[in-house]
């Protein structure tokens, strides 16, 4: 199970650390624009590069958990900011 604020690595962006924002939500709305149902996609996770605000959606099995040093300035592995 993915937890918010867990950290991950991804093959598409080598050397960059991602933070989990949770599972994506798919909303169903009626013709007035009211949300009538929300479903969480538990096979995917919304992630954001540490130090960035762009969100990405990936399948959980495409991510590698990371628990090492994290530079919150740039999000790169091996950074010497801190």
Distance CA 3, CA 23 (A): 9
Residue 74 lies in a domain: no
Q: What tokens appear for 24 in the block?
A: 């994506």
Cα-Cα-Cα-Cα torsion 10, 13, 15, 16, nearest 10 degrees, comes to: -80
22: left (phi over 0), alpha (psi -120 to 50) or beta: left
Residue 70 lies in a domain: no
Residue 47 lies in a domain: yes
Number of domain units in the chain:
1
Write out pLDDT tens, residues 2-29: 666 688 998 998 888 899 998 888 888 8
Write out pLDDT tens, residues 16-70: 889 999 888 888 888 898 888 888 888 889 999 887 888 999 998 899 998 888 8
Residue 15 lies in a domain: yes
Quote the domain boundaries for residue 24: 7-65
Q: What pLDDT sits at residue 3?
A: 65
The pTM of this model reads 0.74
């Amino acid at each position: 199970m993915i937890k918010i604020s867990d950290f991950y690595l991804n093959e598409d962006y080598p050397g960059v650390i991602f933070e989990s924002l949770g599972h994506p939500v798919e909303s169903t709305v009626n013709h007035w624009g009211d949300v009538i149902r929300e479903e969480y996609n538990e096979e995917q996770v919304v992630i954001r590069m540490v130090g960035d605000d762009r969100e990405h959606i990936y399948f959980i099995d495409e991510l590698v958990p990371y628990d090492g040093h994290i530079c919150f300035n740039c999000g790169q592995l091996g950074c010497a900011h801190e």
